[in-house]
Amino acid sequence: MIGFSVNGKRVDLDVDPSTPLLWVIREQLGLTGTKYGCGMAQCGACTIHINGEAARSCVAPVSRAAGTSVTTIEGLSPDLSNPLQRAWLEEDVPQCGYCQSGQLMSAAVLLRDKPRPTDEDIDDAMTGNICRCGTYPRIRRAIHRAAEIAAKGDAR
């Protein structure tokens, strides 16, 4: 049995410990917001947080999650109140939308570490997340916007 928490809920699973966390999250836990894109940590569609740090769940064996706290897109904020989600709405970012869970999860770690990121910071943090629709210009604007929204929120 491998035990960890997912979006604040404790789970204990009887699963092959070498199975990538991605497939456990999607198939055993039914949280399909985290996407499969490459299976080799190249595209970032599977990005989640393990103990608050961005991880590519397609190459992380489920054993790595044991005893940790995992957050998926479903746990970012179900009511879209997270500043990133609000900014993504304002900038109308997604096209097909398939990569956006991963984009948001990477951006969340960036904003936690750098509340007012520069364009270079955005390049550094977001380069692991591919978008084939080409939403990069809007993602960049939305991250800056989310930083503003979060700053205003803090001031209140």
Partner 1 sequence: MIRRRAAEGITGKGMQRRDFLRASVAASGGLLIGFHFPRLSQLASAQSSANVFMPNAFVRIGTDERVTVIVNHSEMGQGVYTSLPMLLADELDADWTKVGFEPAPVDPKYNHPAFGMQITGGSSSVWSGLEQFRQAGAAARAMLVAAAAQQWNVDSSTCRTESGAVLSGSNRKLTYGQLVGGAAKLTPPEHVQLKDPKTFKLIGKPIKRLDTPEKLNGKAVFGIDVKLPGMLTAVVARPPIFGAKMKSFDDSRAGAMPGVRKIVAISAGVTVIADTFWQAKMAREALRIEWDEGRMQTFSTTQMMRDFRERAKSPGTSVRKDGDPAAALANAAKKVEAVYEVPYLSHLMMEPLNCVVDLRAGSCEVWTGSQFQTVDRANAAKVAGLPNEKVQLHTTFLGGGFGRRANPQSDFVVEAVQVAKAAGAPVKVIWTREDDMAGGWYRPAFLHAIEGGIDASGNAVSWRSRLVGQSIMAGTPFAAVMLKGKDYDPASVEGVDDLPYAIPNVAVESHQAEINVPVQWLRSVGHSHTAFAVECFVDELAALAGKDPYQFRRAMLEKQPRHLGVLDLAAQKAGWDKPLPKGMGRGIAVHFAFGSYSAHVAEVSVTDGRVRIHRMVCAIDCGRYVNPGIIAAQTEGGAIFGASAALFQELTFENGRLQQTNFHTFPAMRMNECPEIETQIVESNEKSGGIGEPGVPCAAPAIANAIFAVTGKRIRRLPIRMTEAV
* Positions that interact with partner 1 (CB under 8 A): 16, 19-20, 23, 26-28, 30-40, 42-43, 45, 72-74, 76-78, 80, 85, 88-89, 92-101, 104, 122-124, 126-140
CB of 126 to partner 1, least distance (A): 4
Q: For partner 1, which is the closer residue by CB, 4 or 45? A: 45
Where do runs of H (alpha helix) occur along 15-118? Answer: 21-23, 73-76, 83-90, 100-113
- The closest of 73, 72, 99 to 85, measured between CA atoms, is 73
Q: For partner 1, which is the closer residue by CB, 4 or 84? A: 84
Half-sphere exposure for 6 (CA within 13 Å, toward CB): 23
CB of 11 to partner 1, least distance (A): 16
CB of 153 to partner 1, least distance (A): 18
Q: For partner 1, which is the closer residue by CB, 70 or 155? A: 70
Q: Could you tell me whether strands 2-6 and 69-71 are parallel, antiparallel, or unpaired per DSSP bridges?
A: parallel
Q: For partner 1, which is the closer residue by CB, 114 or 140? A: 140
CB of 4 to partner 1, least distance (A): 18
Report CA dihedral (136, 141, 147, 150) to the nearest 10 degrees.
-100
CB of 45 to partner 1, least distance (A): 6
CA distance 43 to 49: 16
> CB neighbours of 24 closer than 8 A, spacing ≥ 6?
13, 15, 62
